[in-house]
Amino acid sequence: MPFQQAGAAEVLRASQKDESFVDYLKNCVSEIVQRSAGTRVWLDIHKYAECLCEFAYYSLTTLCLRQTLGEEYTGILQVNRTRKSLPNTLERVTMVMLKCFGPEVIHKALCKLENSARSGKLSSYLRPELKNLVLQHMPTLRYSITLLHRIHLATFYFSGAFYHLSKRLTGIKYVLVREWFGDNSATRSFQILGMVLLTHIILTTVSAIYTQLFFKPPPESTQPLTKDGGLSCLLLVMSLMVVVVEVDTWNDVLAKMLETCLAMELLGRTMYLFSAVSSLGVLKMFNARRLQSLMK
The pLDDT score that the predictor gives to residue 181 is: 61
pTM (global) more than 0.85: no
Nearest to 235 by CA among 223, 219, 253: 253
Q: Indicate if 193 and 224 belong to the same structural domain.
A: yes
State residue 3 phi and psi, 5-degree precision: -75, 165
Mean pLDDT of the region 202-226: 63
* 222: Cα separation from own chain's centroid: 31
What pLDDT was estimated at residue 113?
A: 85
**Do residue 151 and residue 274 come from a single domain?**
no
| Predicted pLDDT at 255 | 52
- Span of 162-171, 209-218, 269-278 with lowest mean pLDDT: 269-278
Residue that finishes a domain, picked among 131, 152, 181? 181
- Average pLDDT (230-254) is 45
- CA separation, residue 70 to residues 20, 75, 85, 87, 291 (Å): 9, 8, 20, 18, 29
pLDDT at 215: 63
- Across all residues in the chain, what is the average pLDDT? 75
Residue 1 within a domain: no
* Any domain includes 46: yes
Secondary element (H or E) of residue 254: helix 250-264
Instruction: Look at residue 194 and tell me whether its pLDDT is greater than 50.
Output: yes
- The number of folded domains in the chain is 2
Residue where one domain finishes, among candidates 147, 181, 215: 181
Do 48 and 87 have their domain in common?
yes
- Do the Cβ atoms of 7 and 186 come closer than 8 Å? yes
Name the more confident of 134 and 223.
134
> Do 152 and 201 fall into the same domain?
no
Q: What is the total residue count of the chain? A: 296
Say how far apart CA 53 and CA 49 lie, in whole Å: 6
Q: Which residue pairs, CB below 8 angstroms and at least 24 apart, start in 36-44?
A: none
Over 70: is that where the pLDDT of 83 sits?
yes
| 252-258, long-range: CB < 8 A, 24+ apart | 252/193, 253/192, 253/193, 253/196, 254/279, 254/280, 254/283, 256/193, 256/196, 256/197, 256/200, 257/196, 257/200
2 occurs within a structural domain:
no
Residue 88 has what DSSP assignment? -
Question: Does residue 168 sit in the same domain as residue 212?
Answer: no
Same domain? 61 vs 128 = yes
The whole-number average pLDDT for the span 143-165 is 88
Higher pLDDT, 239 or 171: 171
Q: Among residues of the chain, what percentage have pLDDT more than 90? A: 27
What domain range includes position 276?
187-295
| Cα–Cα distance measured from residue 68 to residue 63, given in angstroms and rounded to the nearest whole number | 10
**Residue 5, Cα to own-chain centre: how many angstroms?**
22
